A and B are shown apart, each in its own frame.
Chain A
Amino acid sequence: MLEILQEILQVGFFAAVIRIATPLILATLGEMFTERGGVLNLGIEGIMLLAAMSGFTAAYFSGSLWLGILAAMLAGALMGLLMGVLTVSLGLSQHVSGIGTTLLSTGLAFFLYRLIFGQPSLPPNIEAFKTVALPVLSGIPLLGPVLFDQFALVYIALLLVPASALLLYHTPWGLNLRAVGENPRAADAAGVSVTGLRYQGLVLSGMLMGVGGAFLSMAQFNAFTFGVISGRGWVCIALVVFGQWSPWKCFGGALLFAFVDALQLRLQASGVIDLPYQLFLMMPFVLTIVLMALVSRSARPPAALLKPFRKEER
């Protein structure tokens, strides 16, 4: 067993961990932002799927990958807006609105993909993102190939972690967002627009989830498949709880999940453990539940999470 692990835990493995973590980092940060403002976005799973489809399709027809990313962000932002109308303006149940958004986005992704591409025997594909080795940095032994010979989106995701922490804790916008999520009544009295900030949080979350989804269909793989997200969005919801609504801890959670996911993939491929491969696929999900059970007792979600805010009600 030790030898297998020694064989697995190589530079290439850790590079894979970072790659697998990237969509999770993006979507988890997105979910963290909206929850910090007091709105749970359960649309995440569907939004990632719709964005994966939109990004792929835009890139397929325009030939520009970055235009694809833009389309994915747009799709995410639109669904964020929809969530805003339902949960912020109308004050509907965040749980059911989110499930509705996921069902709608999933349906739309399937419907539009079939409409645009039909049922070809070979799924259409694109020239996906290529890794960009950063000069000098990628030459650092061990760390270089793991961190600095990656897709551009990986760098963006990694930079977004400190940027999110900065935005959340050291800007007036971040302070207002947190105030809106903790005590909307007081924030409102102080002249902060609860509605505006919650919408902004949702749109931002949609865009980040969108990039996360597009990473899967445009960098990790070069085609869109119906199962491309397969539960990753739901995992991100759990990672936000595990990460205690803090950007750095969420990042840690995403890395931990990605580590286990990469490990199960390698163990599957090595064939040393003779178990059906589905049991390996199950591992990260089991781990997520165990992690949730460990931290949930002490977790302190934003106080106004799930609570609609109506100005006129006291």
Chain B
Amino acid sequence: MIRLRLESREQTPTWLRVTLPLFAIAATLLLCAGLVAMAGANVLEAYAHLLLSSFRSRFDFVETLVKATPIAFTGLAVAVAFRAKFWNIGAEGQLLAGAIAAAFVGGRAGLPAWSLVPLMLLCGMAAGAAWALLPAVLKTRYKVDDVVTTLLLNFIMFYLMMALVDGPWKDPLSGYPDSPDIRIEAEFPILLAATRLHLGVLLALLAAPLTWFLMRRTTLGFNIRAVGENPIAARYAGIRIPMVITATAAVSGALAGLAGVSEVGGIHFQVMAGLSPGYGYTGIVIATLALLNPLGVLPAAFFFAVIITGAEAMSRATGVPVFLADVFQGVALICMLVAILFTQYRLRIRRVATQR
């Protein structure tokens, strides 16, 4: 008789950390192939569109980088929060908070032109942080479950935003519920002529190593990880858990807020209903695939940007519904969770003598 057993591992080899996400992605592609076939498309042809569309031209590649930017920010936001086991499912709402703040500041006529972009970044981070502080305070003061509050606050922020752009903040020139455009000087500089490669892309690239530094080389980062790994030991070590949770929330919210600032400053130049098609939730998938490592967030975000871009091309070419990208995210998250088991356990196959 053969028995399968899970045994704990003391340490996770580095090669495993790098290859696990690849295995998870391979499994996801395999599982989703069934849906593609169900849609009546040739799986290989559909997958060629899904995975390669981003690399067809310089333009497509840059567009994919642009798409990767907001989800890199939300991925970083989630990676920081989940390290402390602060279950911030609210990156979506914090992103919107950041976007609203950025669009508001970016539209102020009285401000000097040079100050607009820095102020948008600062105010957007502050707004995202503030919106994340609410559930943190509710958690530390009133023991309110952070999952529920962060989720509900997403809806509250969305309705708040829609009330603004459909009411007092509505662009009088637009037939839709949109906010007025930000000033020309507030638009993010373009880094590559004739593309949409804007300042936000660069900021995301910088934010990842900075977040890594924060988590790995500072006291706050150490405390965040300590609280997440063993809160009881952390408390005995004199770490003030409520303070750490609050700081985690602020950092996480500020990062999610940057996603909103970057979308407003670099892409939309205003706030409107379709600002975020679930970027906050995609951030959870990305952070998990990156094993909560800020540096891993960048390739993971790029990969999902490839999938999101590719799904549209695939849908146009083969008729497979574009929502395959959504299924893909869910399946990838689940596959990665299962794969992570192997960082903690190893599968042991043992032969057991069958008793007669």
Contacts and interface: CB of A to CB of B under 8 A. Distances in A.
* Size class of the contact patch on chain B: 35 or more
Contact of A114 (B148, B323, B328, B333): B323
A101 B337 contact: no
A285 B327 CA distance: 27
B326 interface: yes
A168 B314 CA distance: 49
Interface string A75-113: 000000010001000101101110111111111101100
Interface stretch (B123-131, B138-146, B245-253): B138-146
A104 B331 contact: yes
Contacts of B143: 296-297, 299
B323 A111 contact: yes
Contacts of B151: 231, 234, 237
Interface in B274-295: 281, 284-285, 288
Interface stretch (B45-53, B158-166, B257-265): B158-166
Given A111-B323, A289-B153, A278 B162 contact: yes
Contact of A100 (B138, B145, B334): B334
B152 interface: yes
A276 to B, nearest CB: 4
Contacts of A105: 330
A48 to B, nearest CB: 14
A111 B323 CA distance: 5
Nearest to B31: A104
Contacts, number: 142
Contacts of A90: 338, 341
B156 A286 contact: yes
B163 A101 contact: no
B269 interface: no
* Size class of the contact patch on chain A: 35 or more
Given A279-B159, A296-B142, A100 B148 contact: no
B281 A292 contact: no
Contacts of A230: 155
Main secondary structure of the interface of A (DSSP, over half): helix
Contact of A296 (B144, B155, B328, B329): B144
A303 B329 CA distance: 32
Contact of A95 (B87, B155, B159): B87
Identify the interface centre among A96, A105, A288: most chain B CB within 10 Å of its CB. Answer: A96
A289 B89 CA distance: 15
A95 B163 contact: no
B29 interface: no
Contacts of B89: 99
A163 B249 CA distance: 42
B163 A276 contact: yes
A281 interface: yes
A292 B162 CA distance: 25
Given A92-B338, A110-B326, A297 B142 contact: yes
B189 interface: no
A114 B38 CA distance: 12
A42 interface: yes
A100 B326 CA distance: 11
A104 B148 contact: no
Contacts of B328: 107
B203 interface: no
Given A103-B285, A293-B142, A86 B159 contact: no
A83 B280 CA distance: 22
A114 B324 CA distance: 10
A115 B324 CA distance: 10
8 contacts: A86-B334, A99-B89, A107-B323, A237-B148, A279-B159, A282-B155, A282-B163, A297-B143
Interface of B: 35, 38-39, 87, 89, 138, 142-145, 147-149, 151-153, 155-156, 159-160, 162-164, 166-167, 281, 284-285, 288, 321-331, 333-334, 337-338, 340-341
7 closest A-B pairs by CB: A104-B330, A107-B326, A103-B330, A107-B327, A278-B163, A110-B323, A114-B321
Given A96-B288, A106-B330, 8 more contacts: A92-B338, A96-B284, A103-B326, A107-B330, A115-B39, A237-B147, A275-B167, A292-B142
Interface of A: 42, 46, 82, 86, 90, 92-93, 95-97, 99-108, 110-111, 114-115, 230-231, 234-235, 237-238, 241, 275-279, 281-282, 285-286, 288-289, 292-293, 296-297, 299
